[in-house]
Amino acid sequence: MKLLPRFALLSLSTLCALAATPALAGGLYLYETADANVGLAGAGSAARAQDASTILGNPAGMTHLDGDVVTGGLQVLMGDVKYSLSPDARIVGDSPGNVIDPFPAASLYWSHSVDQRLKVGLGIYGNYGLALHYDDWAGSGLIKDAALVGLTVQPTIAYRLNDQWSIGAGLGASLGIFSLKRDTSFGEQKVDDHDWAVNGRLGVLYDLDPGTRFGLTYASKTEYNFDVAPTIAFSHTFQPVPAGPSFTVTRDFSLPISAMVNTPQQLMFSAFHTLSPQWAVMGNLGWQDWSAYTNSTVAVAGSELAGGDRLQDTWHVALGAQYTPNARWRFDGGIAYDTSFYKSQNDGSLTMPSGAAWRFGVGTQYQLDPKSSVGAGFEALRMQGNSVQSALLGGAFDTGYLYFLTAYYTHRF
């Protein structure tokens, strides 16, 4: 997400590629992690520090939490992202249509006060992952169903240096699980693998006054490496030239499948300001280093499907507001924009639907008692489509839509 929420480049040697990112597309980092960020479209994530989910948003924000605080949530991602084969594509048959399956997620955060200055905590979350469903399309011998799940366990520490400055750091151990299904001459085939990766998160928080604070968070890249080596038998209807005669071809491959899953390093700057006892405003400015992966190349039958000199760094901006009419209720709203990681939307990848994206979020929180609250949020994401220039599998992704629905709970001890 930026989701998927993110970037997975899954290369089937010279056969095919699959990329599943945090919010479906590279350049769309998954800010949605089953907490209040959904209702705010991520706005203020590195500066709000209102519950234990700050362990992910900005570890330094734990210095604003007293005692023990636990925040947990559940989330579901749904979407409508359709791919249509071009009339000129050499492969003949149905297009996959919508490739997004509903995808669940969960998170759990715990912050503990050692004293007024020192805080320790633990975050368990999945901020990248996706389920793709291509079904019985013309290329089902390459990919039919795929899923990538990333789960991170992040011990975290924060320290308040003085009344203005706080620092924090977290070290995450991430488990990635990948599975792929496709049709072969031997029937449906499934391959899967898992791998561990390590990432780091650093944060700084500055309190200008009791109602105004600024946060800066750095997250290092996360990289999985999957290795599975099945024999691939790919049968498909082939059209040597556009509008020419077609025939069925069966090709047997005994090539390893390798996958590299990358989420880039990123910076996020956020601000939070209380206008009155009822109103607060917040915002983000972020950067992601997608150009670091610009030279990865995967081809199918000689036609490039992914990588090459097509990727660029992305930028993120968000604005949000909170309205608290009384001691029980709070209402959230936010809007965010992410640039595309493609230099040109006419030079995209079959397995990396991506484009500039708008996020629109609304949410609410209800105080059950002085120590407990529940909340819910909804976010709609509109993503620019992209074209794929491939003689074999060329086509286009329409404008895509992702929907996030979350519910969360916070308890203070």
Contact 133, 99 (CB under 8 A): yes
d(CA 192, CA 10): 12
Mark residue 67 as left, alpha or beta (left: phi above 0; alpha: psi -120 to 50; beta: remaining): left
Strands (E), 324-371: 329-338, 357-369
Q: Specify the pLDDT at position 283.
A: 97
Side chain identity at residue 251, one-letter code: R
Q: Specify the pLDDT at position 104.
A: 85
Contact 46, 268 (CB under 8 A): yes
Query: What is the dihedral sign for C-alpha 10, 125, 122, 44?
Result: positive
With pLDDT > 90 as the criterion, what percentage of the chain qualifies?
48
- Express each pLDDT in 380-396 by its tens digit: 999 998 888 877 778 88
Count of C-beta atoms within a 10 Å radius of residue 277: 9
Contact 127, 22 (CB under 8 A): yes
- Express each pLDDT in 84-138 by its tens digit: 888 877 777 888 888 888 888 899 999 999 999 999 999 999 876 667 788 788 8
Q: Does the structure show a pLDDT above 70 at 153?
A: yes
Q: Specify the pLDDT at position 8.
A: 29
Q: Specify the pLDDT at position 322.
A: 98
Q: Which residues contact 28 (CB under 8 A, 6 or more apart)?
A: 1, 2, 3, 4, 5, 6, 21, 22, 338, 354, 357, 381, 383
- Express each pLDDT in 220-234 by its tens digit: 988 877 775 544 555
Q: Does the structure show a pLDDT above 90 at 63?
A: yes
Report the chain's mean pLDDT, rounded to a whole number: 81
Contact 313, 289 (CB under 8 A): yes
